[in-house]
Every structure is written in structure tokens, then in C-alpha cells.
Amino acid sequence: MFLFTIASASPTIPFPLLSFLGYAFKERNNYKTIRRGLKIIRKQLLLIGITLVLLIVGLCGCSSTPEDKIIGDWISKMYDDGDYEGRPDLHYIFYQNGTCCAYSIGHYELKNCMDYSFTGQQLIFTYSDGHKTIYNYSFSSDYKQVTLTSENYPNFTDILERQ
């Protein structure tokens, strides 16, 4: 009864479904009323659907991990004591399976492939001989740059730029 009184109180209330039910109970066989109610429900379902899609798409990016953010092609700019060393830049490709390959730019000569993993704020490269290199990492706000500082060499900084 409460549902009926709310729905039949005003045809302009913000609950078209309840409004339609109120009309349907009041005017049982009025085809125009039922048709108008179905149009209102269609619009409401469309708005709900669009809202859900936007909500789902918006929340998908919230749970991304560092592993998801680093996958792809990166170009390295190596710095030592704050000065660019001028060494040939390296092209890193991070794969979803946890491996990374480094190529010399210009020659695309394979330099090294290694496994990578993230632990806290550290990126760990594990080479085939078991040697590990540990970097502290930080992403830029747009995730187009990663700054790596070495635990082994405190003055060394590597900036990776997304390609």
C-alpha cells in the first residue's frame, strides 16, 4: 500500500518505475498509460546501464599493479651523479610473463634478458646466472616515466620513458 501511495502521488516523482506501477494499478487497461510507463522504464534502464558502464570502466584503472603499469616499451636515459652519461640508450621491453629484454638503440642488438618482479617499492631484476639488481622505483603521475635508483650504486639513476 505504501508503494502505491508513493507511486500515485505524483507522475513527476524521480522513480518512473514506481510511477508506472501506480498508473497501471489505477488505470488497469489504459494502453496509453502502459505504453508511456514502458517508455519511462526504458529511459531509466538506459540511464542505469550507462551509469554502470561508466562506473565499471572508471574502477578498472584503480586496481592496476606496478606489473601492469610497466608492461611495454621503454627507453632508458642513464644518469650518474645527476649528469647524463651520454652512453648509448637502451630500449627495454617488459613482457607480461615477468621477463624483460634490453636492446641497444640503433642496432637493436640484444644486450640481456632477465626476469623482473616488484616487492614493495623495489623493482628486482634477476639475471640467468642468479645475480640480482635491485632498484627503488617511482612512476610519474601520467605513468609515462619510471625513475629507478640503484640500491647497489647510490649515485646512479635511470629514467625510463614510455614509447
CA angle centred on 50, ends 48 and 56, rounded to 5°: 100
Label residues 113-146 b or e (16+ Cβ within 10 Å = b): ebebeeeeeebebbeeeeeebebebeeeeeeeeb
Domains of the chain (ranges plus CATH)? Answer: 2-62 (no CATH), 66-162 (2.40.128.280)
Query: Is it the case that residue 18 has pLDDT exceeding 80?
Result: no
% of the chain exceeding 90 in pLDDT: 12
pLDDT for the residue 39: 84
